[in-house]
Chains A and B, each alone.
Chain A
Amino acid sequence: MLWLVVFLGVAVAIQARQSAAIATARRVATLREQRTALEAERSALERQIHVATSRRVLGDRAERDLGLMQPQDSQFTLFPIDRVRP
């Protein structure tokens, strides 16, 4: 009788381990899918940001809508920012 109990115990342990492995595999697959989706979203957003902030788009709009122009080097000044004293 003991051998039957041992056999059942081992069988249940194996089954539990396999079930946990399959659940983990599903979880890993889900996370992988989410990561793929997030990467795609990030990439799409980066592309949109790149296009929207490119000189071709932003520069033209600034000139057309706001009347700004690309400054010549005599039209801007480099300022120092003093060291912040404690």
Chain B
Amino acid sequence: MARATARITLIEVVLGLGLVAVVLRAGQLQLVEGGRWRAEAQRARQERRVLEARRGGIFDRNGVQLAVTQEYFHVGIAPNELREPGADARVIARALGMPLRTVQHDLATRKWIPYRGPFSGLQVQPLRELRGVHLDGEFARHSPAGNLARAVIGTLMPDSARGASGIEMALDSILTGTPGEAVLLKDRAGRRYDSPARLQREPVPGNDVYLTLDAELQEIAERALDEAMSRFEADGGDIVILDPHTGELLALASRKLVEGKVVANRASFFTDPFEPGSTAKLFTAGGLLARRRVTPGDAVPVDNGQLVMQVSSRGDTRTIRDAHKTNGNISLAEAIKISSNVAMALFSQRLSAPEQFEALRDFGFGSPTGVEFPSEARGALRMPDRWDGYSKASIAMGYEFQVTPVQLAAAYAAIANDGILLTPTLVREIRAVNGQVAYAHQPEPVRRAVSPEVAKILRGYLRSVLEEGGTAEGAQLANYSLAGKTGTAQKNEGKGYVAGRYTASFAAIFPADDPQLVVVVKIDDPKGTYYGGQTAAPLTRSMLEEALAARQSAIDRMRLVEAAPGAGIAAGAPAPESDAPPEPPEQRAVVVLPVGDSEVKRGRTLVPRVAGGSLRRAANALHRRGFRVAVHGSGTVMRTTPSEGDSASVGSLVTVWAE
């Protein structure tokens, strides 16, 4: 009995110990190691996923998409999961644009078929309903406008969505969004399920950037540069178009010949400085005028366009020659008009080296402009203590210092802007994902380079360059005034100046009276004709003509008509017949007339009958005869001056009176 009791006690103790062990183990699992096991269980049931944020888009000033981010897909197919392999193969082949036979062969022979693509959301949409088709999405950059402004926009790094160059790099932190996080549920088979309750953090898309570029002007500039490359067999070129009152860069085009192929992805307008040649004569002239070292009556002798200048105390000399030879004494205005090296060399001696340096520095040379672009070059302008005896003359002619095309455009913009130098900009606006404007560009004055009076005089000099006898007389527009300066600089390729190789350039202000645009055109090593006045200047003219006739353009046509007497209706508005003030015109429309050369006869012709018809019809008929047209009034045409049937010179002005 006693033994039985002992056995029972033993069993009870063993069971009790077992129970205690179970309780202790349970306590250990629940309390001590509970956190770890809970995490383990969660890992088995859930999966954390980083939700990539969409990168902000890049647009032109009018909202044209230049670079946007889209979701693309890689497609994976598990043939054994397909419900109807025959029918599914046809859907897959049609959606992915692949030969049906290839898809059928893959389905029959492989266990897993990865089609990398990437395929757009539109392409994979029909595949979403198919069982056995697995989509793996990723964001990728897309350029709806093709290669337009590619050098400005830049690229992303190949393996990440970070900017590698251009605006993509400069504004990377603004364009990049904040990734989100979600938890997916998994069942025992490992299948994943979305659940809104498990969204930890929504991804926040990046900001959209609206550039100052105008897609229409950009296309005009790029096309013009392509034509110039081909026509002049040039090694490269740059075009910059800028709004002088805001500093906004409206178009930036670059081309370079690399191993026989033209490439367009280099932002050389920011990164490649060059010696500007005669386009820079204006800045020394500005320094002379600002310091009153030249009066309107001052003139220097040019001696048939040749000057032997002593450049050191040892008697060393340099010979300076003019391309456009003239005799006698010429003023500073004439020196700019005919681009006289001799006159500029002589005038420059009236400035000390520090004064000439300051004049150029005030226009921004030698310093980066501060535009929002990585790797902008600062150009080169040596301190005056490193100048030699020839430097003042050389710099006055546009040598011994280097500028980027954008620096040159900004300096000309200062002249157009009554002497105030502005920081050029590429970014017009930044908008958050909710459409709220986070940043809007305001003009940023750097300094006053010259007084308004001096700027006005300089604009007058520039206007004379396109008048008869100027170096760009052929580039003037018929109805709207253009002002500018040509440049033809010999190229320095490290080991000195190379004979027969030039940089042709033209810097222009349009229109001269109420500037809206500054245009800088630079052509590297044009073959055959190489003068800036015969290459870059006509190119500027044709670009402006295209911009004027464009359906949408950055040019304000109302301001243009007011600044161009004789070009449009506003020029000769009739005096009001009543006491009431005249209603100002509210809108203007451009009428582009497709007139072929063959239809315009040279010499004199008869003024056609246009009375009784519409203004549009009248203008069309007169243009077809080769007349220029000024319109007074609106509505039905009443008469013309000269009258119908009169003979008038082709190209002369016919005034149309309408009521």
Residues of A within 8 A of B (CB): 21-22, 24-26, 28-29, 33-34, 36-41, 43-44, 46-47, 50-51, 54-56, 59, 66-83
Contact between A77 and B144, CB atoms less than 8 A apart? no
A34 to B121, alpha carbons, bound, how many Å?
8
User: Please, what's the 1-or-0 string for B210-230, where 1 marks a CB less than 8 Å from any CB in chain A?
Assistant: 000000000110010000000
Contact between B219 and A54, CB atoms less than 8 A apart? yes
Q: Give the Cβ gap from B13 to chain A, nearest Cβ, in Å.
A: 38
Q: Which 4 A-B pairs have the closest CB atoms?
A: A80-B585, A36-B121, A74-B478, A78-B568
The residues of A that contact B634 with a CB separation of less than 8 Å are: 79-80, 82
Comparing B386-394, B522-530, B541-549, the segment that makes contact with chain A is B541-549
Contact between B196 and A37, CB atoms less than 8 A apart? no
A24 to B197, alpha carbons, bound, how many Å?
10
The residues of A that contact B219 with a CB separation of less than 8 Å are: 54-56
Contact between B549 and A71, CB atoms less than 8 A apart? yes
A39 to B123, alpha carbons, bound, how many Å?
12
Contact between A82 and B586, CB atoms less than 8 A apart? yes
> Do A77 and B125 contact each other (CB < 8 Å), given the known contacts A56-B223, A71-B594, A82-B585?
no
> Do A72 and B596 contact each other (CB < 8 Å), given the known contacts A78-B560, A83-B586?
no
> Do A43 and B146 contact each other (CB < 8 Å), given the known contacts A22-B193, A76-B548, A81-B588?
no
Query: In the complex, which of the residues B128, B589, B595 contacts A79, with contact meaning CB atoms closer than 8 Å?
Result: B589
Give A56's nearest chain B residue, CB to CB: B223
Contact between B568 and A43, CB atoms less than 8 A apart? no
A77 to B68, alpha carbons, bound, how many Å?
38
Query: In the complex, which of the residues B124, B194, B544, B596 contacts A69, with contact meaning CB atoms closer than 8 Å?
Result: B596
Q: Count CB-based A-B contacts (< 8 Å).
A: 161
Q: Is B593 an interface residue (CB 8 A)?
A: yes
Q: Give the Cβ gap from B568 to chain A, nearest Cβ, in Å.
A: 4
Give B615's nearest chain A residue, CB to CB: A79
Q: Give the Cβ gap from A34 to chain B, nearest Cβ, in Å.
A: 8
Contact between A77 and B591, CB atoms less than 8 A apart? yes
Give A81's nearest chain B residue, CB to CB: B587
Query: In the complex, which of the residues A29, A54, A70, A82 contacts B194, with contact meaning CB atoms closer than 8 Å?
Result: A29
The residues of A that contact B597 with a CB separation of less than 8 Å are: 69
> Do A55 and B220 contact each other (CB < 8 Å), given the known contacts A67-B596, A77-B619?
yes
Give A78's nearest chain B residue, CB to CB: B568
The residues of A that contact B414 with a CB separation of less than 8 Å are: none
The residues of B that contact A40 with a CB separation of less than 8 Å are: 70-71, 120-123
A55 to B221, alpha carbons, bound, how many Å?
11
Query: In the complex, which of the residues B120, B478, B589, B631 contacts A81, with contact meaning CB atoms closer than 8 Å?
Result: B589
Q: Is B561 an interface residue (CB 8 A)?
A: yes
The residues of A that contact B196 with a CB separation of less than 8 Å are: 21, 24-25, 28
Q: Give the Cβ gap from B616 to chain A, nearest Cβ, in Å.
A: 8
Q: Give the Cβ gap from A74 to chain B, nearest Cβ, in Å.
A: 4
Could you pull out 18 A-B pairs where Cβ atoms are within 8 angstroms? Answer: A22-B193, A39-B70, A40-B122, A41-B122, A43-B70, A47-B146, A56-B223, A66-B594, A76-B591, A77-B568, A77-B629, A77-B631, A78-B568, A78-B589, A79-B619, A80-B585, A81-B586, A81-B589
Give A26's nearest chain B residue, CB to CB: B194
The residues of B that contact A75 with a CB separation of less than 8 Å are: 592-593, 595, 623
Contact between B142 and A79, CB atoms less than 8 A apart? no
The residues of B that contact A26 with a CB separation of less than 8 Å are: 194
Q: Is B479 an interface residue (CB 8 A)?
A: yes
A38 to B498, alpha carbons, bound, how many Å?
57
The residues of A that contact B125 with a CB separation of less than 8 Å are: 33-34, 37
> Do A74 and B588 contact each other (CB < 8 Å), given the known contacts A46-B65, A55-B223, A80-B634?
no
Q: How many residues of B contact A (CB 8 A)?
A: 67
A72 to B595, alpha carbons, bound, how many Å?
9
> Do A69 and B121 contact each other (CB < 8 Å), given the known contacts A47-B144, A74-B479?
no
A41 to B548, alpha carbons, bound, how many Å?
33
Q: Is B240 an interface residue (CB 8 A)?
A: no
Give A48's nearest chain B residue, CB to CB: B144
Best-buried of A25, A26, A38, A83 by chain B (most CB within 10 Å): A25
Give B595's nearest chain A residue, CB to CB: A75
A78 to B560, alpha carbons, bound, how many Å?
9
Contact between B122 and A80, CB atoms less than 8 A apart? no
Contact between B590 and A44, CB atoms less than 8 A apart? no
The residues of B that contact A25 with a CB separation of less than 8 Å are: 193-196
The residues of A that contact B629 with a CB separation of less than 8 Å are: 77
Q: Is B301 an interface residue (CB 8 A)?
A: no
Q: Is B19 an interface residue (CB 8 A)?
A: no
Contact between A71 and B128, CB atoms less than 8 A apart? no
Query: In the complex, which of the residues A21, A51, A70, A78 contacts B569, with contact meaning CB atoms closer than 8 Å?
Result: A78
Contact between B194 and A72, CB atoms less than 8 A apart? no
Contact between A78 and B121, CB atoms less than 8 A apart? no
The residues of B that contact A33 with a CB separation of less than 8 Å are: 121, 125, 128
A37 to B631, alpha carbons, bound, how many Å?
52
Contact between B120 and A72, CB atoms less than 8 A apart? no
Contact between B589 and A70, CB atoms less than 8 A apart? no
Q: Give the Cβ gap from A51 to chain B, nearest Cβ, in Å.
A: 7
Q: Give the Cβ gap from A29 to chain B, nearest Cβ, in Å.
A: 6
Contact between A43 and B595, CB atoms less than 8 A apart? no
A22 to B568, alpha carbons, bound, how many Å?
67
Give A82's nearest chain B residue, CB to CB: B634
A70 to B502, alpha carbons, bound, how many Å?
30
The residues of B that contact A34 with a CB separation of less than 8 Å are: 125
Q: Give the Cβ gap from B559 to chain A, nearest Cβ, in Å.
A: 11
Contact between A44 and B120, CB atoms less than 8 A apart? yes
Query: In the complex, which of the residues A46, A67, A73, A79 contacts B479, with contact meaning CB atoms closer than 8 Å?
Result: A73
Give A25's nearest chain B residue, CB to CB: B194
Contact between B478 and A73, CB atoms less than 8 A apart? yes
Contact between A71 and B121, CB atoms less than 8 A apart? no
A47 to B146, alpha carbons, bound, how many Å?
7
Best-buried of B144, B195, B561, B567 by chain A (most CB within 10 Å): B144
> Do A77 and B195 contact each other (CB < 8 Å), given the known contacts A67-B596, A70-B546?
no
Contact between B583 and A82, CB atoms less than 8 A apart? yes
Q: Give the Cβ gap from A53 to chain B, nearest Cβ, in Å.
A: 9
